[in-house]
Amino acid sequence: MRIKRTRKFKHEPVKLTEMSTVTTDEGRKYVTPDEIELPSITTVLSILSRDSIAKWRKRVGEEEANRILVHFLKSEARKYGKQRNIPGVRGTSRLSPYLRFGEISPKTIWHVSKDYSNPGTDHFVREVGWREFSYHLMANFPFLSNKPLRENFEQFPWRDSDEDYEAWTKGMTGYPIVDAGMRELYATGWMHNRVRMIVSSFLVKHLLIDWRKGERWFFDTLLDGDFCSNNAGWQWVSGGGADAAPYYRIFNPILQGKKFDTGGRYVRKWVPEIADIPNANLHAPWELSEGQLQLFGVKLGETYPEPIVNHEFARKRALESFDQILSLIHISEPTRLLSSSYA
């Protein structure tokens, strides 16, 4: 099927042209389009994706990785502690794909960084250390590839909702910071770390969808899709991994957006259909009336999705679900850890 891509930045209905008939082995006939004019968001992402992939292809190899490291240490590393959580600025090194493919090693980063020691650089090096921790976890607990470290989390009552999962993968959840992150991921193969935590928490705790589905999606779409780091990150968010986030820690995507994308730069880049909404309401557009939204060219449910789940309802549901297994979870002494030679 041929896809026609255009540079339209406005949501429009899908247009089907040049219809043809397909007859299946069972004799059923289906009318299918030979040409589709994609909805604008897909068009936007396809354009951005081509540009982003082209940039990555020009920037590969050990020499390039070392150049990026030194440039980061000389320029942004000093501010790393303050900027690392702000997705709208380039406050991180972007070295993760190079680490993933062995174009630079953690030891090299550690040794080179010693010549630029300051609080920001030291913080950056500690974050690289978490990557190594994830490798030690997988080496000593190989079952982590498909099971949680805290075994009783296997009894968690996950929901099986293909509709919610698909909305999450496409960045169409109705929560702007979540949608911005998922669209950045699909368009570029990369996502800011703060936003990774927000979107993964949303899948696991707002939608109650098994963390392993999110882990697989990240691994399939991330340029820096590192098996060990990815696994450790998702286990951390779910509450069932080593040094895991407390089960009752449920990221509020509205407050996270307001705190870390205060000016809306990140959301406006990746969710252009709501770009005209003022900062005060950008991360919760449903708080505006229908008339107010029309002033900004937005109609929820048509130009931008309504929230697929209410935050307060989702939080309450998640806590109730965790309470079901709380009595079975030995937070300080997970059985699998004690039975391992690594204990």
Spatial contact of 200 and 237, defined as CB atoms under 8 Å apart: yes
Q: Is pLDDT above 50 for 234?
A: yes
Please indicate whether residue 55 or residue 306 has the higher confidence score (pLDDT). Answer: 306
Instruction: Please compute the mean of the pLDDT values over residues 97-114 and round it to a whole number.
Output: 95
Q: What are phi and psi of 21, to 5 degrees?
A: -105, 135
Provide the 10 A C-beta neighbour count for residue 120: 19
Grade residue 53 by pLDDT with cuts at 50, 70 and 90: low
Grade residue 274 by pLDDT with cuts at 50, 70 and 90: very high
Instruction: Please compute the mean of the pLDDT values over residues 182-191 and round it to a whole number.
Output: 94
pLDDT score of 16: 30
Instruction: Please compute the mean of the pLDDT values over residues 210-237 and round it to a whole number.
Output: 94
With 0-12 / 13-18 / 19 or more C-beta atoms within 10 angstroms meaning exposed / middle / buried, residue 261 is: buried
| C-alpha triplet 179, 180, 185: angle, nearest 5° | 95
By annotation, the residues acting in catalysis are 127, 130, 158, 193, 211, 234
Spatial contact of 232 and 134, defined as CB atoms under 8 Å apart: yes
- CB burial readout 320-340, b (16+ within 10 A) else e: ebbeebeeebeeeebebbeee
- CB burial readout 9-35, b (16+ within 10 A) else e: eebeeeeeeeeeeeeeeeeeeeeebee
Grade residue 188 by pLDDT with cuts at 50, 70 and 90: very high
pLDDT score of 333: 42
With 0-12 / 13-18 / 19 or more C-beta atoms within 10 angstroms meaning exposed / middle / buried, residue 121 is: buried
Percent of the chain with pLDDT over 70: 77
pLDDT score of 88: 94
Q: pLDDT tens across 276-335, in order? A: 999 999 999 999 999 999 999 999 999 999 999 999 999 999 999 988 887 665 544 444
Count the residues in the chain. Answer: 343
